[in-house]
Chains A and B, each alone.
Chain A
Amino acid sequence: GAVVSQHPSWVICKSGTSVKIECRSLDFQATTMFWYRQFPKQSLMLMATSNEGSKATYEQGVEKDKFLINHASLTLSTLTVTSAHPEDSSFYICSAIRDRGQYFGPGTRLTVT
């Protein structure tokens, strides 16, 4: 089946630094990818829709300048958390659409100290 990978699987960074998370579709091309955030014991919340070759569409309340999304190719979307703060600590998951279904990456756990 379709496979979506994420890198890194976990990262610890200091407050004020930036962190980049990669999302790759390994065996299919994805013109659209989605980025979600999940806080402990909560469900997934859509942050933004990443469109290949164009600007991402952000959900209400998500800061565009803080969560930079780049979908430079049909198999890669990146999420950069800029000037990270402890409140940005969360589980970030990406997904891609194929054959009318969503395929999710394994997630990246970000801890900001």
Chain B
Amino acid sequence: KQEVTQIPAALSVPEGENLVLNCSFTDSAIYNLQWFRQDPGKGLTSLLLIQSSQREQTSGRLNASLDKSSGRSTLYIAASQPGDSATYLCAIYTNAGKSTFGDGTTLTVKP
């Protein structure tokens, strides 16, 4: 059974800092990994999708990496802004056709 862990559970940083969110998973037989953002009471917004054959994806100030052998992914956010405050979720999509989500990291960027 795939288990997904996100560390830290919560993070508070001053505006402008670069930060890293971590996601680890137990089963490396994955189809893809996806990072999402969720604002309070809202649905999910997809940030980055990494296929199992890829090692990283970049979009603007966001960079996500994937290391299947170690069961880890990181989401790097450069020059953080207050608008980045949200809960960040990683999800592992397996060949069996199911997604397993981590519990998320709640990020607060203080102006």
Contacts and interface: CB of A to CB of B under 8 A. Distances in A.
Contacts of B104: 43
A6 B45 CA distance: 14
Chain B interface bracket (under 10, 10 to 19, 20 to 34, 35 or more): 20 to 34
B99 A100 contact: no
Q: Is the interface of B mostly helix, strand, loop or mixed?
A: strand
Interface stretch (B28-36, B58-66, B73-81): B28-36
Q: Which of B44, B49, B97, B102 has the most CB of A within 10 A?
A: B44
A42 B89 CA distance: 11
A107 B32 contact: no
A43 B49 contact: no
Q: Is the interface of A mostly helix, strand, loop or mixed?
A: strand
B32 A101 contact: yes
Given A43-B101, A43-B103, A46-B99, A103 B41 contact: no
Interface string A67-102: 000000000000000000000000101010000111
A100 to B, nearest CB: 6
B91 A102 contact: yes
B93 interface: yes
Contact of A106 (B43, B93, B99): B43
B46 A101 contact: yes
Interface string B69-111: 0000000000000000000010101000111111110000000
Contacts of B89: 43-44
A101 B34 contact: yes
Smallest CB-CB A-B distances: 7 pairs:
A107-B43, A106-B43, A104-B44, A101-B49, A43-B101, A43-B103, A44-B101
